[in-house]
Structure 1
Amino acid sequence: MTMIGLTVNTRAIKASVEPRTHLADFLRDSLNLTGTHLGCEHGVCGACTLLLDGMPARSCITYAVACDGARVTTIEGLDDDEITTELRAAFTREHALQCGYCTPGMLIAARDLVLRLPTSDEHHIRVGLSGNLCRCTGYVGIVRAVRTVIDQRRERGVMPISGGGRQTLGPVGSGNATNPAVSDIAAKPATKAETRDEDTGTMAIPDFTPAKVFKDQFTVAYPPDRVFDMLGDVAQVAACLPGASLTGVPAPERVEGMIRVKLGPISADFRGAARIERVLETLSGRIVGMGSDQRSRSLTQGEICYHLVPIEQGAATRVELSIGYSLKGMLAQIARDGLVRDLAARLTADFARNLDRHLSGIPVDATAEGSQNLNGVSLLFSLLRERALKNIRRLLKR
Structure 2
Amino acid sequence: MTTIQLTVNGRVAEATIEPRAHLADVLRDQLDLTGTHLGCEHGVCGACTLLLDGATARSCITLAVACDGAAVTTIEGLDEDEIAAELRTAFAREHALQCGYCTPGMIMSARDLVLRLDHADEQAIRVGLSGNLCRCTGYAGIVRAISAVISARRQRGIAAMVGAGRTSLGPVGSQPGATAISSMRPAATEVKLSRSAASNGLDPLEVVPAKSFDAAFTVSAAPEQVFALFGQPKILAACFPGATVTDIPAPDRIEGEIRVAIGPLSAAFRGSARIERNAANLSGRLFGTGRDQQSRTSTSGQIGWRMIPIDDGRATRVELAIGYSLTGPLAQIARDGLVRDLASRLTTTFAQNCERHINGTFSSAETIEPQRLDAFGLLLDVAWTRFTAIVRRLRRS
Bigger Rg, which one:
1
Indicate the structure whose relative CO is greater, using CA pairs within 8 Å and at least 6 residues apart: 2
